[in-house]
């Protein structure tokens, strides 16, 4: 829309709505300046008219322009490749599975093995037996179990800190990618990167019956054009290459 602007008796010229909005932000146009455009019954104070037509502090064209710029910024960000995503996940899993494997060997005995085999159809009961066995080993001062328990705890703490501060697990740090907010690529933070994206899905994936289908669906969504898995959609995040 083209606006004719005036300040008192002085004609300021004709400007489109983008120019008017920019001029008001820069102080070139005042809220008390008068404006008129085709369809308006009379001249009106510029500030009043802009509030009336927009219903907010900026006119619709500016809102649309900002959204277009935001979309461009999203598209120009370099998404993490499938190989980087897979590599980061493998590193994180291996770092965790190695101490878990050593810990299981350290607590394994004939009685424990028999209990696990008897409860193989009941994952919840198996976990209770496992926790009891680990607790007994820790109380007995088993050095291998103590060391592996410490390694696992350190890995968990390191990942939580890295995810909160940098949007990176250890695997993502080593592969040069990071988790960011999908809307503006800002830092994801603790709630999105840890609680929603990691912890929530770890809990749900451990549930009987729904855990495996959920994991498969989560993995398959990585083939979307934006490579956002189900946990990304829930947390409103995306994974991009980190700028160095």
Residues 68 and 135 in one domain: no
Q: How is the chain classified by DSSP, letter by letter?
A: -EEEEEETTEEEEEEEHHHHHHHHHHTSS-TTSEEE-TT-SS-EEHHHHHHHHHSSSS-HHHHHHHHHHHHHHHHHS-BPPHHHHHHHHHHHHHHHHHHHHHHHHHH--HHHHHHHHHTTT-HHHHHHHHHHHHHHHHHTT-HHHHHHHHHHHHHHHHHHHHHHHHS--HHHHHHTEEEEETTT--B-HHIIIIIIIIIHHHHHHTSTTTHHHHHHHHHHGGGSTT---HHHHHHTEEEEEPP-
Distances (CA, A) of 175 to 12, 66, 94, 115, 227: 57, 32, 14, 40, 16
Percent of the chain at pLDDT > 90 equals 46
Residues 96 and 57 in one domain: no
Residues 175 and 227 in one domain: yes
Residues 22 and 90 in one domain: no
89 versus 55: the higher-pLDDT residue is 89
Range of the domain at 144: 77-241
Domain end (from 44, 75, 106): 75
Q: Spell 230-244 as b/e; 16+ CB within 10 A means b.
A: bbbebbebbbbebee
User: What number is the average pLDDT over the span 111-135?
Assistant: 87
Distances (CA, A) of 185 to 77, 118, 237: 8, 49, 8
Residues 185 and 83 in one domain: yes
Calpha distance 163→32 (Å, rounded):
50
Calpha distance 94→109 (Å, rounded):
24
Give me 155's structure tokens. 């890995």
234 versus 50: the higher-pLDDT residue is 234
Domain end (from 75, 90, 119): 75
Residues 132 and 216 in one domain: yes
Number of compact structural domains in the chain: 2
Nearest to 206 by CA among 133, 150, 130, 114: 130
pLDDT at residue 218 is higher than 70: yes
Domain end (from 54, 75, 96): 75
The CATH code of the domain that includes 21 is 3.30.1490
Residues 64 and 119 in one domain: no
Residues 111 and 186 in one domain: yes
pTM above 0.85, yes or no: no
Distances (CA, A) of 20 to 23, 55, 142, 145, 203: 5, 16, 74, 70, 53
Calpha distance 15→36 (Å, rounded):
11
Question: pLDDT digits over 175-207, tens only?
Answer: 999 999 998 888 899 999 999 998 988 888 778
Residues 28 and 85 in one domain: no
Residues 177 and 66 in one domain: no
Residues 84 and 49 in one domain: no
Mean pLDDT check: name the lowest of 44-53, 62-71, 114-123, 189-198: 62-71
Residues 24 and 133 in one domain: no
């Amino acid at each position: 829309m083209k606006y004719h602007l005036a300040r008192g008796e002085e004609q300021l010229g004709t400007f489109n709505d983008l120019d008017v909005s920019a001029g008001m932000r820069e102080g070139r146009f005042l809220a008390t300046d008068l404006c008129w455009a085709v369809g308006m019954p009379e001249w009106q104070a510029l500030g009043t008219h802009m509030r009336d037509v927009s219903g907010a502090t900026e006119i619709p064209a500016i809102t649309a322009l900002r959204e277009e710029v935001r979309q461009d910024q999203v598209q120009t960000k370099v998404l993490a490749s499938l190989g980087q995503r897979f590599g980061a996940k493998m590193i994180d899993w291996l770092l965790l599975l190695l101490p878990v494997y050593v810990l299981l060997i350290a607590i394994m005995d004939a009685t424990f093995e028999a209990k696990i085999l008897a409860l193989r159809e009941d994952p919840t009961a198996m976990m209770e037996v496992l926790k009891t066995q680990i607790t007994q080993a820790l109380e007995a001062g088993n050095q291998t179990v103590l060391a592996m328990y410490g390694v696992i705890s350190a890995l968990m703490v390191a990942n939580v800190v890295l995810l909160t501060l940098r949007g990176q697990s250890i695997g993502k740090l080593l592969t040069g990618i990071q988790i960011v907010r999908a809307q503006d690529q800002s830092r994801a933070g603790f709630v999105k990167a840890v609680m929603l994206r990691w912890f929530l899905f770890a809990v749900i994936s451990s549930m009987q019956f729904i855990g495996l289908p959920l994991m498969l669906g989560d993995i398959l969504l990585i083939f979307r054009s934006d490579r956002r898995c189900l946990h990304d959609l829930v947390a409103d995040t995306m994974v991009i290459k980190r700028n160095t």
